[in-house]
Amino acid sequence: MSEVQRRKYSQEEKNAIFDGEFMPHIDSMYNFAYRLTFDEDDAKDLVQDTYLKAYRFINSFEKGTNAKAWLFRILKNSFINEYRKKSKQPAKVDYQEVETYYNSDDVDFQGTTDLRAESVKDMLGDEISNALNSLAVDFRTVIILCDLEGFTYEEMAKILDIPIGTVRSRLHRARNLLKDKLKGYAQHMGYNTDEEE
Amino acid sequence: MDMKEDSSGQRKMQCSDVSRCFQLLESILDGEMGDGGKDILQEKLDKCQPCFEHFHLEQAIREVLKTKCTKQSVPVELAQSIREKIQDIK
């Protein structure tokens, strides 16, 4: 994906790739863009920009390879370079800071006894969605890529330009943070916990 | 990681290395451990209560994420608008 391979597609081939391999991912792309920006217009612009870039650089896409991962990488880079600054969401904590903080072992999730699988299954879509949306963008992103979109660690490493080991540990931390949020909802909503069977 | 058999045949109530075990379980759930993951998983689920609970909790969270967070409906005009812009730069 990173090495630019020069080839020349004919106009017909370009159209076929664009329609056959790029456009089918528009739902996933929009969902990702919306969960990054929290704004319908920004999400539309982001997806549109991504597809225009994809078309412009179509010669560096190798036909038959993973178009979805290729598109997600472009979208992620566009978001970081252009949208993150003007995004309507309030400024988030600097990622490096977050990662360092949560790197310590003592924040490992200890709440398996408080948060039960059954409580999670009973939660409403909005609660799940809000919990996910409340995570800092880098943690939110790995969960979206892995759990919503089903990318492998290797694909995620390429999309995010980070080593696989970092994908694994960032995911683990993201999931711990998400469980903390869900636990909060479970307690707040009285979904608890040990008594119900 | 503690792979020793528990002689009682019951699940042990304490996990000796929660951090590593949970991370491993998550990798297995993510399909990153191949076939080797299945044996490790079975061993963990049979022998360790915290691992058993963590696995089912993680599984439930993945399910609700997948079923409840992917339903953002795409604006109908978006695909058309993209195609028109592509026509312009062709």
The model's pTM: 0.83
For residue B58, the chain A residue with the least C-alpha distance is: A117
Equal CATH topology for A11-86 and A95-188: no
Nearest CB partner across the interface for B70, out of A11, A31, A124: A31
Beta-carbon contacts of B47 under 8 Å, excluding residues fewer than 6 positions away, are B5, B6, B11, B12
CB B44 within 8 A of CB B27: no
Architecture of domain A95-188: Orthogonal Bundle (1.10)
Reading chain A (197 residues) residue by residue, the pLDDT tens digits are: 445 556 789 999 999 999 999 999 999 999 999 999 999 999 999 999 999 999 999 999 998 899 999 999 999 999 998 876 665 555 444 555 455 545 444 445 554 457 888 888 888 888 899 999 999 999 999 999 999 999 999 999 999 999 999 999 999 999 999 999 998 888 877 655 554 43
Contact B22 A172 (CB under 8 A): yes
d(CA A47, CA A70): 13
CB A46 within 8 A of CB A38: no
The domain limits of chain B are 18-89
Residue among B45, B46, B48 at smallest CA distance from B16: B48
Residues 160-189 of A with CB under 8 A from B: 168-169, 171-172, 175, 178-179, 182
What dotted CATH number matches A11-86? 1.10.1740.10
The domain limits of chain A are 11-86, 95-188
